[in-house]
């Protein structure tokens, strides 16, 4: 009975030794508040209970195209910070939202370790490890663990020294860098003997028909180098290795170390993305007097603004702005107006299912008297511009309350009237229909 128990415990321990899962680059609204249009955060946080609070793991990462991409044609590395593992790219354009990563996490040990290269005048660094030394048939994978070397790298066995090396695939001089290394005898070698444009098909029993497999790769240099960023892609019941840059052909006879892990289906977030709204740079001038005269006379006014985002025609997002300015003493002069502005149209008529970010923002404050307080660079002696604090999807609103003359406009000339001067937006997250 004791032998059965020990065998059971040993089996459980072996199964738990390696952790594998698919991670998809999803970002919250706060992470998107400081990125420029068309760019993404440079850090993709792996928030997974299997790896959180565990710095003693060795992570191997491979980009997976999935069903609709996107392509990620840049270098990346992994590091541990603030109790989570993070994928980082040195490219300021960042990691595109919905980029998919196959993650293999192995406890640090004899078969999973970090190699740090020393300063060298060659194009490679030598790995000194007893499991690899003198073993040209060794099978292992690597992933960058720091970012001083942004070149695409691979592995090669050097028979003159009976050791394995990591080399720049463009054969340029090697930079000091750290690399995660995982040795696994179930790894096999895939060769691009038959190339189709920028990719070739892996034909192996561990990957064929494996829709939900997690596939990991490392370039193996044996005379043919592919110095381009690559990824894996499942198509027509076969896994493929492809160049992320679709215009670059896969070199014939390029070789890769490949590891395949079975994995259950994952939640597809391809349809959840951040989009950039168009700022409103035209002046919005309310004219509907609902109470009192047209003069605030330095008494506020109290500004109450509610902005709501609304989907229309399934392909557009509109900003609905309900604006009210009220004098703070009798006769409580009040102006109200509803403005509707289209701020986003989907590309290629893609249909929006829902807005996932907050859709309503309320801004309330008492405007300073004209000519007595200046807020923002655009304030003048007759008009005080209040720049609101960022809130939800509103990055900034520039609002004029009290002015030097009559405050509530009677025409379309808003030069010296209560008004919204402009509205700028943060990106918001939407879900597109399938």
Q: pLDDT value at position 383?
A: 75
d(CA 235, CA 42): 29
Q: For 178-329, where are the alpha helices, taking DSSP H only?
A: none
Q: What is the 3-state secondary structure (H, E, C) of 4-72?
A: HHHHHHHHHHHHHHCEEEEEECCCCCHHHCCCCCCCCCCEEEECCCCCCCCCCEEEEEEEECCCCCCCC
Q: Which residue's structure tokens are 């992570």?
A: 59
Q: What is the CB-side half-sphere exposure of residue 351 using CA atoms within 13 A?
A: 5
Interior angle at CA 218, CA 22 and CA 238, nearest 5: 60
Per-residue pLDDT 10s for the chain (434 aa) are 333 333 333 333 333 478 999 999 999 999 999 899 889 999 999 999 999 999 999 999 999 999 889 999 999 999 999 999 999 999 999 999 999 999 999 999 999 999 999 888 899 999 999 999 999 999 999 999 998 889 999 999 999 999 999 999 999 999 899 999 999 999 999 999 999 999 999 999 999 999 999 999 999 999 999 999 999 999 999 999 999 999 999 999 999 999 999 877 777 788 999 999 999 999 999 999 999 998 998 899 999 999 999 999 999 999 999 999 999 998 999 999 999 999 999 999 999 999 999 999 999 999 988 754 344 444 444 677 899 999 999 999 999 998 877 789 888 788 889 999 999 999 999 999 98
* 418 and 286 Cβ atoms separated by less than 8 Å: yes
Count of CB atoms situated within 10 Å of the CB of 34: 9
Rounded to two decimals, the pTM is 0.86
d(CA 385, CA 432): 37
Q: pLDDT value at position 371?
A: 52
d(CA 165, CA 276): 45
Interior angle at CA 37, CA 31 and CA 41, nearest 5: 30
Q: What is the CB-side half-sphere exposure of residue 43 using CA atoms within 13 A?
A: 13
Q: pLDDT value at position 210?
A: 92
Residues 6+ apart with CB under 8 A from 39: 92, 93, 94
Q: pLDDT value at position 113?
A: 98
Q: pLDDT value at position 298?
A: 87
């Amino acid at each position: 009975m004791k032998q059965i128990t020990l065998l059971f415990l040993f089996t459980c321990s072996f199964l738990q030794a390696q952790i594998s899962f698919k991670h998809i680059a999803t970002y919250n609204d706060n992470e998107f508040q400081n990125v420029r249009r068309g760019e993404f955060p440079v850090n993709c946080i792996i928030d997974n209970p299997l790896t959180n609070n565990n710095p003693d793991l060795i992570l191997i990462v491979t980009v997976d195209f999935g069903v609709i991409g996107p392509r990620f044609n840049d270098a990346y590395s992994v590091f541990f910070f603030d109790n989570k593992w993070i994928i980082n790219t040195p490219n300021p354009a960042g990691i595109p939202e919905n980029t998919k990563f196959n993650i293999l996490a192995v406890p640090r040990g004899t078969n999973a370790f970090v190699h740090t290269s020393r300063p060298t005048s060659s194009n490679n660094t030598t790995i000194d490890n007893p499991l690899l030394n003198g073993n040209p048939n060794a099978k292992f994978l690597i992933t960058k663990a720091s970012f001083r070397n942004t070149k695409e790298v691979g592995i090669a066995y050097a028979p003159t020294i009976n050791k394995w090396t990591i080399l720049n695939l463009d054969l340029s001089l090697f930079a000091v860098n750290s690399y995660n290394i995982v040795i696994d005898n179930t790894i096999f070698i895939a060769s691009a003997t038959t190339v189709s444009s920028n990719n070739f098909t892996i034909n192996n029993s561990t990957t064929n028909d494996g829709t939900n497999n997690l596939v990991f790769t490392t370039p193996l240099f044996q005379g043919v180098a592919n110095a381009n960023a690559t990824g894996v892609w499942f198509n027509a019941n076969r896994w493929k290795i492809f160049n992320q840059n679709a215009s670059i052909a896969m070199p014939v006879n390029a070789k890769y170390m490949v590891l395949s892990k079975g994995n259950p289906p994952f939640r597809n977030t391809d349809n959840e993305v951040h989009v950039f709204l168009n700022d409103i740079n035209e002046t919005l001038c309310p004219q509907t007097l609902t109470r009192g005269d047209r003069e605030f006379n330095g008494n506020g006014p109290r500004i109450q603004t509610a902005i709501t985002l609304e989907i229309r025609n399934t392909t557009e997002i509109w900003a609905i702005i309900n604006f009210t300015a009220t004098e703070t003493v009798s006769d409580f002069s009040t102006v109200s107006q509803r403005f509707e502005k289209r701020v986003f149209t989907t590309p290629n008529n893609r249909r929006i299912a829902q807005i996932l970010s907050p859709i309503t923002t309320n801004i309330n404050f008492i405007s300073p008297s004209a000519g007595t307080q200046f807020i923002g660079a655009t304030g003048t002696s007759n008009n005080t511009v209040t720049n609101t604090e960022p809130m939800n999807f509103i990055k900034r609103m520039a609002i004029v309350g009290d002015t030097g003359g009559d405050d509530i406009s009677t025409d379309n000339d808003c030069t010296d009237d209560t008004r919204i001067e402009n509205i700028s937006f943060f990106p918001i997250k939407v879900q597109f229909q399938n």
